[in-house]
Amino acid sequence: MTSAASSPPAQPRVGLFVTCLVDLFRPSVGFAAVKLLEDAGCTVEVPEAQTCCGQPAFNSGDRATTEDLVRGLLDAFEGYDYVVAPSGSCAGMLRAHVPDLFENDKATAARAAEFAGRCHELVSFLVDVMGVKRVDAALERVATYHDSCSGLRELKIKRQPRRLLQSVEGLELAEMAEPEVCCGFGGTFCVKYPQISTKMVENKVQDVAASGADLLLAGDLGCLMNMAGRLARQGSPIEVRHVAEVLAGELDAPPIGRPADA
């Protein structure tokens, strides 16, 4: 991996925000994130006191629980140069919404704003902050990339994953007709509106199949699990992975939703 960072510290100390879904369902994404960050010259630590980013509570209107969770995160990630998450959704919560939580508590509001400024989504951090231009990975597949809503709309993540995927030896990118359209997951949205969510993911996997790709990639595990589930129920051979696994060359784990012996 090569990098051309100039503004970050020579060896930035990164606190990895693992995210609930990676911790519970796909630890391989966390290990891939650590490899990518270390290859880029970062020192990576995983604070054990970290919790949920608070997004489910925030989206449900539970402000008190959100604020309690975020106060814990402010302490857990104190002192790190950067806080990096392999998720546009969680990073979007930390970067875009946390600063507005403590309008009646000026001291905590100041800490929250400083914390939010250090938070980044993994791939955009590698490209935009660390100056990474290519990765040392190879994969002979045709892949298509889904732009998750929070990463795209809150953090403007679009070109960064495609730039690094283009450097994966043997990998061909085949774009969907509408890669920016929501997959229908949306956190609590898929629970509140299951019929609408199901129609949206059905449309999405049709777009995936029409691309001709045999591998679907994205940067948010919630979206990936939603789309992998729909593809599996259809009996589709299309495999699904987090983009970090491909960029890191960490492909020992089976594709998302597939048994280990598939």
Give residue 255's identity as a one-letter amino acid code.
P
What percent of the chain is predicted at pLDDT more than 90? 91
pLDDT at 260: 82
**Model pTM above 0.75:** yes
Contact 22, 53 (CB under 8 A): no
Comparing CA positions, the residue from 99, 121, 103 lying closest to residue 36 is: 121
Joined tokens for residue 134: 């290519």
- Complete edge-to-edge strand list for the sheet that includes strand 172-173: 172-173, 142-145, 215-218, 239-242
Cα–Cα dist 246/250, whole Å? 6
Residue 78: predicted pLDDT: 97
- How many whole angstroms separate alpha carbon 10 and alpha carbon 40? 10
Torsion over CA: 217, 221, 223, 227 (sign): positive
* DSSP code at position 254: P
Whether the Cβ atoms of residue 160 and residue 132 lie closer than 8 Å to each other: no
**Does residue 261 surpass a pLDDT of 80?**
no
Residue 3 has a CB neighbour count (10 Å cut-off) of: 18
At residue 2, the pLDDT reads 41
Please, which residues have CB within 8 angstroms of residue 80's CB and are 6 or more apart in sequence? 13, 14, 15, 45, 118
- Considering only CA atoms, which of 217, 244, 219 is closest in space to residue 228? 217
What integer best gives the mean pLDDT of the chain? 95
CA–CA separation, 125 and 151 (whole Å): 12
197 band by pLDDT with thresholds 50, 70 and 90: very high
Measured CA to CA, the distance from residue 243 to residue 203 in angstroms comes to 21
Give the separation between CA 56 and CA 65, rounded to whole angstroms.
Answer: 10
Q: Express each pLDDT in 142-152 by its tens digit.
A: 999 999 999 99
Percentage of residues of the chain with pLDDT beyond 70:
97
| Cβ burial, residue 17 (10 Å; 0-12/13-18/19+) | buried
Q: Which DSSP state fits 7?
A: S
User: Structure tokens of 131?
Assistant: 């100056």
Contact present, 249 and 137 (Cβ < 8 Å) = yes
Give the burial class of 177: count Cβ atoms within 10 A of its Cβ; 0-12 exposed, 13-18 middle, 19 or more buried. Answer: exposed
pLDDT of res. 223: 96
Residue type, 75: D
Q: What angle do CA 231, 120, 224 make, to 5 degrees?
A: 5
Q: pLDDT tens digits, residue range 92-122?
A: 999 999 999 999 999 999 999 999 999 999 9
Q: What are phi and psi of 33, to 5 degrees?
A: -65, -40
The rounded distance, in Å, linking the Cα atoms of 53 and 72 is: 10
Tokens of 20: 């609930």
Query: What pLDDT score was predicted for residue 4?
Result: 43
Per-residue pLDDT, averaged over 127-135, amounts to 97
